[in-house]
Structure 1
Amino acid sequence: MSTVESQKRVLSGMRPTGQLHLGHYHGVLKNWIKLQHEYECFFFVADWHALTTHYASPQMLEEHVLNMVIDWLAAGVNPGSAALFIQSRVPEHAELHLLLSMMTPLGWLERVPSYKDQQEKLRDLDLETYGFLGYPLLQSADILIYRAGNVPVGADQVAHVELTREVARRFNHLYGREPGFEDNAQAAVKKMGKKAARLYQTLRTAYQEKGDHEALERAQALIREQQNISLGDRERLYGYLEGSGKMILAEPQALLTPAAKMPGLDGQKMSKSYGNTIALREDLDTVAKKINTMPTDPARVRLTDPGDPDKCPVWQLHEVYSDDSTRAWVQDGCRNAGIGCLACKKPVIDAVIAELEPIQERARQYEKDPDVVRSILADGGEQARESARETLRDVREAMGLAYR
């Protein structure tokens, strides 16, 4: 796979924590739904990652996996547009993690910002483990095994992508210097046949001397059409075309996602640890009750007391769900005591329920037939393994492990 091709591929995963809430929907899933129409997407259940912190309580893992994937599908993630799979069903992740661990400096892992941060946040868990120290490298293996050029992350996860870039760069530096690369590449050109070889050389010259990106794309398409060359020669042709050596692991880019704007019921970030969530499959009457009992501006003791929407958690939900006219109505009515808090909450309740109803309807279909979900995961796993095997074959060969 060439650098240009890797840029068309996206990899993202989520730890199985059971049923998802509106924070997950607005913070991750809506972005996945958009990306699946723009890139070749691989979305995976990070069950091994769950064990790096919750290794002592794996009992609910299988149920959590299925429930989370049902939420993905119900939210609109399409298995026809993206490969959905379980991390532990693609053992190539683990082998690449092991091989990368041989050449990754210990200090790189210790300096990942979330390492100390998570230890502090999860002080009730024993995280003085080899698995927890190595989880950022496992994340790198997750990305690199698919040669994904883009990884959708929030600003707090950019350091993980940068680590992955460093690991790929170090690997390619150590193992990507194929002896006699140019001779091997020119031999691969000859295997294309005279007509295709001449066209390849013409397009290569146009790209390298004039920066003609249309020529680059035509040459890449020409390489893909070749039936009589090996995968190794194909990689050499891509590298020779782009003026590099044989690319083994692609350096990914962070595809920054907008900061999640979904507040919890108390005004803090929506999170299970804060107990302020609305689950995607929560009973709709319970949803209405939760919003109706949300705290409001403490200055509004009586209906006639004016309030300040900026001090009220309900206003944050209006910023997510309400249109301009409704927000203007809230601002005026609250500040001038023209509306009560229950009246202010009603448009939010209606909007949240309208968002959840179709999600819940789709979820019910998958709940009735969980074997459909298992089949989707099995198919996605096969697609993922096919790609992962190609990468691992090249990695083994580069590291001198291709002997039989």
Structure 2
Amino acid sequence: MTMPPVLTLLLWGVTALSLLIWLVLLLFWGQFWRMDQRLQGGDLRTWPRVVAVVPARNEAAVIGASVRSLLEQDYPGTLHLIVVDDQSEDGTGEIARQTALELGKGDRLTVIEGTPLPRGWSGKLWALSQGIAAACAFHPDYLLLTDADIAHDPQNLRQLVAHARQQQCALVSLMVKLRCQSVWEKLLIPAFVFFFAKLYPFRWVNDPKRSTAAAAGGCILIDPGALAKIGGIACIRDALIDDCSLAAAVKRAGYRLWLGLTPTTVSLRAYNSLNSIWQMVARTAYTQLSYSPLLLVGTVIGMTLVYLWPPLALAVGLSGGLLPLAALAGLVWGLMAIAYAPTVRFYGLNGAWALTLPVIAFLYTLMTLDSARRHWQGRGGAWKGRIYPRKS
């Protein structure tokens, strides 16, 4: 079957555009795909006081391991841990206390009972606000804001503080290594990090001359003075993407940021099903697009052009006897796999997983559309039993 010349020209044009986009991403987009921004160990003459604040709501399954990893930090300075039990119903606070007592470090842990969520706040940020207020009594030089499902490497705090001091950063954040054991985790979790890095190239975040700002909420070390200057946690009190909102506020105030990866500090959160990952992504995907229908349409078109078109063009080229077109489409798919391969290796997966990016992108596009649908239905911010108001 002969294809009309106009259609053939269109196929060539779109495939060439996809190729151009991937060349720009690989060569000029902050080298986001290299996965090379890592903390380096360092030493200080004196080690500052740190208070770690952990907001925890119904985290009985993981809070013990998280508290243990923090209290067993190989940190030469003073470290105190505050767990904010955000009205849990599963004994989260008691498990935290018991863990500290078993380690003989009960005096280094404070558990405070969270008060009811006031209007205009997200749950995590309200819990953090209460924990930070309690931390003031210990006069910290730094605050470590971390999630209840994070198991910290023993050297983690030492490296964070050394980097902050030596590089004069007000905020240092780590994208912890997410759990990647089930089939769905292997398919979708590394891509979550890949897409995040593409949206916020780490090298650009770490460049004080660029406005790009981002952080990973699971592990943030921040200077309390910088936090106070931007108005405290209250300045982002209703943000659903709170980590990047915090980083943006800090960078706008003239402070340096650093964001990187760690293979040793890990998330304990399991995502064993497609539904669990879907819920995580759909909760904030449309928020990332500023609730804009125009940006949503642009995102769908962009995802199709960048990720879905190459395998489609390859199939059309092979079935229609357009072998040069198929070869070009295969080249674009190969560049896509080259870009994704470092992330796949970081997660210890077989290199063949790098070829699955078109399938992954298709699923993430559906999640983004579902996120928009939930927003329009007034339930886009549902999380841990709370539904946050729809924003216009």
Structure with the bigger percentage of helix = 1
TM-score (norm 2): 0.24
Higher RCO (Cα < 8 Å, 6 or more apart): 1
State which structure, 1 or 2, has the greater radius of gyration over its C-alpha atoms: 1
Structure with the bigger percentage of strand = 2
TM-score (norm 1): 0.24
